[in-house]
Chain A
Amino acid sequence: MKIHLPYAGLLLTLALAPWIIPIIGDPFWLSVLTEIIIWSCFAASINFLFGYVGLLSFGQALFFGFGMYGVGIGISSFQLPFWPAFFLGPFSATVMALITGIFAVRLTWHYFAIITVVFSLIFYFLALTLKSITGGDDGINFSLPDLFNFMGYTVSLTNTTTQYFFTLGVVVLCFWLIKIVMSSPYGRCLIAIRDNDVRASLIGINVYKLRLSAFVIAGFLAGVSGALFALFGRYASASYMFYHVSGEGVVWAIVGGVGTLLGPAIGTGVFILIREVVSSHWQHHALIVGAFAICIVIFAPEGIVGLWKKYSKRGPK
């Protein structure tokens, strides 16, 4: 049980956050926390590929965008109720990941990074062109359907606290899924591929198929975060498919600690917090964020989690 203690503590804190935050500060921070949780799932998707399979994807924003548009188009064009629309987002992202993955995972390292950027750029420009469907750069706005409507009693995500718990629940499920996958024999095979793909193939692991399946899982995770973000902002926009969004996710994952479960979430949290705290005082917050990223890389190349492990191993005296 010793290992699970931090997880339990973190979960408890997160579960109590809607009541703690109004005591210590502005309730506005609850939406910031919601946003952090959503983007954590995105960073986790990048970490899943890079940290566990060794594939650095610069195109995860593509699946984030598909998750967003799945929900957005589902609600605004197809008039879908909440749950079908919410499933359409990650579903379309997963299908897209399968299609692009068939080509992308043939390549590794630099080539893989470039082809994922190329794929995401293709769909970014497509989304810009097909304005009638996607709304282009302006995006599409929609109003939220109800989560449940039972005998006149409705639960809707328009309530910030409901939204928070819905997001938290979904993302915790995703992280739990990652944990289960990574402790299964399948996860061990992925790690083997990351460490040495030639050796992995020699002991009978089908490297191509496993990489493809990991790519699809990562696409699903990015799709979930995109769908959640669409519900959070109540809009979907092509600008979230640009490669710069993927780049930010890569930075969050690496700064937090690649190849760890909570590293991406911590990296995301730190960066969004810095942005929110500094930007209310000083409009040039990007300077601080950039400098922080550089400092982490220089002084803690293993990321924040790596730094923490190193420090706690030395032990307090």
Chain B
Amino acid sequence: MNQTIIALAINGIVFGLIVALIALGLSIIFGLLDIINLSHGDFFMVGTVFAYTTLSVLGHFWPALIIAPLIGFALGALIQFSIIQRIKNNAALSIVATFGLSMIIQEIVRMTFGAAPKRIMPPITGTFGMFGIEYEWYRIFAAIASIVAIGSFFIFLKSTKLGVWMRAVRHDRDTATTMGIPTQKVYLFTFGIGFAMAAVGGVIAAPITTVDFRTGVDILPFCFMAVIIGGLGNLPGTVAAAVLLAFLEGVISGFATPTIARIFSLVLMSSVLLIRPQGLFKGLTK
């Protein structure tokens, strides 16, 4: 029993890191463009499909880690250019537009990839002993890969010119524009990066979950909750909230069914929203 809980808790942390990767993209799109992106879960789903396709076409899993973010970035920029730019950062309209987009993405995947859920084998097999349990190597790899991706995103945001631009636009759009920052280009990059990060998350998660055109619908509320509980615009808070939520859910599912664990974490979340709507971590990071 004890060992099961440890395993579930670690599973939770691993999954939380992947969710954090997706939620970060959601958070920057939300913070910079004022877009409530209901298709963000589907960006993740597209990542899992890339992983499956790469494995079946090239015979290897690893190229997907490069291919998925590149295509994801291009698709994200295309979506921003053709749709999001035209609705002028209106949050209510963005809900309709991204809901439509979500339908289109899911339907295209269903047309080309098929409606039946599929599984792929982890590229790293084997287990090792830890706290008296046998744990899969691949999940450890997934955690490390997510940490690397999250870390490089923060480094990008802190120390590249584009990252500084992104932070500046989020801070004050009008001043940033008058200072000569090409706001439109920043929007384009932001959306592209958001899509790319969700796609990487999808590739990493593909061997752990199933590859299914509906995956995005299930993961989306979770990502939104991480963004809100971490505090709007608080990126490290988002990461912490995602990991914390998934960890708690993992631990609780050791005692009850996964559905009841989900209910517990949702109740917890609503109390956080009511008591600290500014986010759990406000005042800790700044």
Q: Are A111 and B277 in contact (CB under 8 A)?
A: yes
B residues in contact with A292, CB < 8 Å: 100
Is residue A293 contacting chain B, with contact meaning CB distance below 8 A?
Answer: yes
Is residue A247 contacting chain B, with contact meaning CB distance below 8 A?
Answer: yes
Do A291 and B90 contact each other (CB < 8 Å), given the known contacts A106-B274, A111-B228, A111-B273?
no
B116–chain A nearest beta-carbon distance, Å = 15
B159–chain A nearest beta-carbon distance, Å = 30
Contact with A along B110-134 (1 / 0, CB 8 A): 1100000000000000000000000
Q: How would you classify the secondary structure of chain B's contact residues: helix, strand, loop or mixed?
A: helix
B215–chain A nearest beta-carbon distance, Å = 13
CA distance A122 to B97 in the complex (A): 26
- Using CB atoms, name the residue of chain B closest to A111: B277
A residues in contact with B267, CB < 8 Å: 122
Do A291 and B100 contact each other (CB < 8 Å), given the known contacts A111-B228, A129-B263?
yes
The 8 Å CB contact of B96, one of A118, A126, A284, A296, is A296
Q: Are A294 and B92 in contact (CB under 8 A)?
A: no
A residues in contact with B225, CB < 8 Å: 114, 118
CA distance A231 to B96 in the complex (A): 29
Q: Using a Cβ–Cβ cut-off of 8 Å, how many residues does chain A contribute to the interface with B? A: 41
B residues in contact with A68, CB < 8 Å: none
Do A250 and B263 contact each other (CB < 8 Å), given the known contacts A118-B273, A243-B221?
no
B residues in contact with A126, CB < 8 Å: 263
CA distance A289 to B101 in the complex (A): 10
B residues in contact with A255, CB < 8 Å: 96
Q: Are B270 and A118 in contact (CB under 8 A)?
A: yes
Contact with B along A250-291 (1 / 0, CB 8 A): 110011001000000000000000000000000010110111
Is residue B286 contacting chain A, with contact meaning CB distance below 8 A?
Answer: no
B residues in contact with A284, CB < 8 Å: 107, 110-111
The 8 Å CB contact of A297, one of B97, B103, B260, B263, is B97
Is residue B242 contacting chain A, with contact meaning CB distance below 8 A?
Answer: no
B residues in contact with A251, CB < 8 Å: 95-96, 99-100
Is residue B106 contacting chain A, with contact meaning CB distance below 8 A?
Answer: yes
CA distance A294 to B100 in the complex (A): 6
Q: Are A297 and B273 in contact (CB under 8 A)?
A: no
- Using CB atoms, name the residue of chain A closest to B228: A114
B110–chain A nearest beta-carbon distance, Å = 7
Is residue B145 contacting chain A, with contact meaning CB distance below 8 A?
Answer: no
B residues in contact with A289, CB < 8 Å: 100, 103
Q: Are A115 and B270 in contact (CB under 8 A)?
A: yes
Contact with A along B3-36 (1 / 0, CB 8 A): 0000000000000000000000000000000001
A190–chain B nearest beta-carbon distance, Å = 18
CA distance A121 to B249 in the complex (A): 15
Q: Are B266 and A121 in contact (CB under 8 A)?
A: yes
Q: Are A129 and B96 in contact (CB under 8 A)?
A: no
- Using CB atoms, name the residue of chain A closest to B103: A290
Contact with B along A287-307 (1 / 0, CB 8 A): 101111110111001000000
- For chain B, residues 69 to 107, give those with C-beta under 8 angstroms from any C-beta of chain A: 83, 86-87, 90, 92-93, 95-97, 99-104, 106-107
The 8 Å CB contact of B260, one of A110, A114, A129, A291, is A129
Is residue A128 contacting chain B, with contact meaning CB distance below 8 A?
Answer: yes
Contact with B along A118-158 (1 / 0, CB 8 A): 11011001101100000000000000000000000000000
B residues in contact with A121, CB < 8 Å: 221, 262, 266
Q: Are B274 and A110 in contact (CB under 8 A)?
A: no
Q: Are B38 and A247 in contact (CB under 8 A)?
A: yes
Q: Are B87 and A129 in contact (CB under 8 A)?
A: no
B residues in contact with A103, CB < 8 Å: 270, 274
CA distance A247 to B38 in the complex (A): 9
The 8 Å CB contact of B100, one of A125, A243, A293, is A293
Q: Are A244 and B217 in contact (CB under 8 A)?
A: yes
Is residue A117 contacting chain B, with contact meaning CB distance below 8 A?
Answer: yes
Q: Are A290 and B101 in contact (CB under 8 A)?
A: yes
Listed by A's residue number, 10 A-B pairs whose Cβ atoms lie within 8 Å are: A106-B274, A129-B257, A248-B99, A251-B95, A251-B100, A254-B93, A284-B107, A289-B103, A290-B104, A294-B104
Q: Which residues of B contact A (CB under 8 A)?
A: 36, 38, 83, 86-87, 90, 92-93, 95-97, 99-104, 106-108, 110-111, 217, 221, 224-225, 228, 232, 257, 259-260, 262-263, 266-267, 269-270, 273-274, 277
Q: Which residues of A contact B (CB under 8 A)?
A: 50, 56, 103, 106-107, 110-111, 113-115, 117-119, 121-122, 125-126, 128-129, 243-244, 247-248, 250-251, 254-255, 258, 284, 286-287, 289-294, 296-298, 301
Q: Known pairs A103-B270, A284-B110. 12 more at Cβ < 8 A?
A: A56-B95, A111-B273, A111-B277, A114-B225, A118-B270, A121-B262, A126-B263, A129-B263, A254-B92, A286-B107, A287-B104, A292-B100
A-B CB proximity, top 6 nearest: A293-B100, A290-B103, A290-B104, A290-B100, A286-B107, A294-B100
